[in-house]
Amino acid sequence: MTIIQSLARGLEILDLLADAEQGMGIGEFATHLNVDKSSASRLLHTLASYGYAEQDADTRRFTLGPRVVTLSNRVLNRMPLRDHAHPFLRRLTHETGECSHLAILSQSKALYIDQMESPSILRVETEIGTMSPLHCTALGKVLLAFNRHAQVESMPAFTPRTITDPEALKLHIDQVRRQGYASDDEEHVPGVRCIAAPVYGFNGRVVAAIGISGPAGRVSYEKLPELTEKLITLADELSRRLGSAR
């Protein structure tokens, strides 16, 4: 298969921008791409001219442009899964009082494709389109446990509670499969506790993960059994709506 090098580098720039919250300078791109600064500059300004990147006038650093948001929204709006799942997210938030999320497996990460915000002032919000690691999020663990093609590429520590040992993660994921749900006990974000359950499609395979996230003080150990029961009940209902016989 023939690869167009300039296009490949442009796509690599988009990946770099997606991970750079504070943006990146031309020199940084040149280093990452192993090209000279003039080549990196041409690539970046080409992307900017089409709206895929934009440059801050003061810092001169580049960030993702609005065109990326437009395309991602078009992709998400073509997902019938969201249409079926959204009423269940609304119910889940109504019944638990916490933010609810829906994610699918994408590029060895959990891609958030829909959410419902909690009515509480203190809440956990995750933007649609966010990609989170599999090894330390409840949604990610579900996708890892119930998708045979899912793999963890790396296991960085986000908090002191993050599982970073491959063997420990394997045992943990085995437990997720047995119990039918996953939890994130302040493993990704300090002070945030999450639970998630699998959503099955008509073919009996897991097509998504649905879950809730909230401050650890509200999603307490005492409340976890009740919250988990509500979550699993709704996940099963959504699975049946999608045609699953489970």
Transcribe 133-184 into DSSP letters: -SSSSHHHHHHHHH-TT---S----SSTT----HHHHHHHHHHHHHHT-EEE
pLDDT tens for each residue of 86-142:
999 999 999 999 999 999 998 889 999 999 999 888 888 788 888 899 999 999 999
Distance of alpha carbon 71 from alpha carbon 84, whole angstroms: 21
User: What per-residue confidence (pLDDT) applies to 203?
Assistant: 80
Tokens (6 digits) for 1:
């298969």
Distance of alpha carbon 21 from alpha carbon 230, whole angstroms: 35
DSSP code per residue over 21-54? TT-B-HHHHHHHHT--HHHHHHHHHHHHHTTSEE
Q: Which residues of the chain have pLDDT under 50?
A: none
User: What per-residue confidence (pLDDT) applies to 74?
Assistant: 67
User: What per-residue confidence (pLDDT) applies to 197?
Assistant: 98
For the chain, where do the domains classified as CATH 3.30.450.40 start and end? 79-241
Q: Are 209 and 194 in contact (CB under 8 A)?
A: no
Under CATH, what is the fold of the domain 5-69? Arc Repressor Mutant, subunit A (1.10.10)
User: What per-residue confidence (pLDDT) applies to 180?
Assistant: 96
Domain 79-241, CATH among 3.30.450.40, 3.40.50.10860, 3.40.47.10, 2.40.30.10 = 3.30.450.40
Q: Is 140 left (phi over 0), alpha (psi -120 to 50) or beta?
A: alpha
User: What per-residue confidence (pLDDT) applies to 32?
Assistant: 87
Total length of the chain: 246
User: What per-residue confidence (pLDDT) applies to 141?
Assistant: 97
Q: Which of 95, 89, 94 is nearest to 226 (CA)?
A: 95
